[in-house]
Amino acid sequence: MLGLPDGIRACLFDMDGVVTKTAVVHAAAWKEMFDDFLREWSAKNGKPFVPFDPVRDYDEYVDGKPRQEGTKSFLESRGISLPEGSEDDPPSAPTIWGLGNRKNELVLAVIKRDGVEVYDGSRRYIEAVRADGLRTAIVSSSANTVAVLDAAGIAGLFDVRVDAQVARERGLHGKPAPDTFLEAARMLDTPAAYATVYEDALAGVAAGRAGAFGFVVGVDRVGQAAELRAHGADIVVQDLGELL
């Protein structure tokens, strides 16, 4: 009924784009932040302005990764090097952390203004998973996971949470490393071979495969089914409701 192999005991869900309709908010925030930066950088360096692509650049360089790693990854793709800075850099600072903090500021403003929507198919699927006695975890690279879950009213659907704050506290590497998913499985007292990963990001699917999880479900919201399979998804669906 749940579309899972026999023996699966825990389900580990990414948040943005899998459970909540916040991936599009993140993509728009990345674009606004990077385009503002790139315009200024191009003018100062006599280079043509090439805007951030909210599909190709988002999928390739930032989706699913910790904020500062996504920032650095995209800038490196453009041959741009900035100082790392520090976590408390203001959003105006020309540093990796400063740009990341500006992006986060934009995301929080949209969440506060518009709230958070949950994919209906995902809500129904997670409720069915729990009704069947399986444990659940939310595993996100976001530092705003608690705020998003609370705004969406779905915090109670997950037994454990592993997000950017937990990763920082415990020294876990972000996706595409499998550390955060492995930590969630450990917290649920479930070996990776008996847990399923649900991801819409290429980096997240790669993390599921790298962690040798029992099953990896790719969620294709933007027409990248082939890429999700290439990165390690065992199955690709457009919505988790398809698995019911």
Greatest CA separation for the chain: 60
Could you list the active site residues? 14, 16
Spatial CA neighbour of 222 closest among 107, 55, 63 = 55
Q: What is the pTM of this model?
A: 0.78
| DSSP-derived secondary structure for the chain | --S--TT--EEEE-SBTTTBTTHHHHHHHHHHHHHHHHHHHHHHHT-------TTHHIIIIITTS-HHHHHHHHHHHTT-------TT--TTSSSHHHHHHHHHHHHHHHHHHH---B-HHHHHHHHHHHHTT-EEEEE-S-S-HHHHHHHHT-GGG-SEEE-HHHHHHHTPPPTTSSHHHHHHHHHTT--GGGEEEEESSHHHHHHHHHTT-SEEEEE-SSS-HHHHHHTT-SEEESSGGGG-
The pLDDT of residue 147 is: 87
- Contacts for 38 with CB less than 8 Å, ≥ 6 apart: 49, 50, 51, 52, 78
**Residue from 57, 95, 92, 94 nearest 73 by CA:** 57
CA 198/CA 238 separation, integer angstroms: 12
10-residue mean pLDDT series, the chain (244 residues): 94 95 84 95 94 90 86 95 93 94 89 87 97 97 88 94 94 95 98 98 95 97 94 97 96
232: left (phi over 0), alpha (psi -120 to 50) or beta: left
Cα 12 to the center of its chain, rounded Å? 12
pLDDT on residue 35? 95
- Domains in the chain with CATH codes: 10-22+117-243 (3.40.50.1000), 24-114 (no CATH)
Per-residue confidence (pLDDT) for residue 67, from 0 to 100: 85
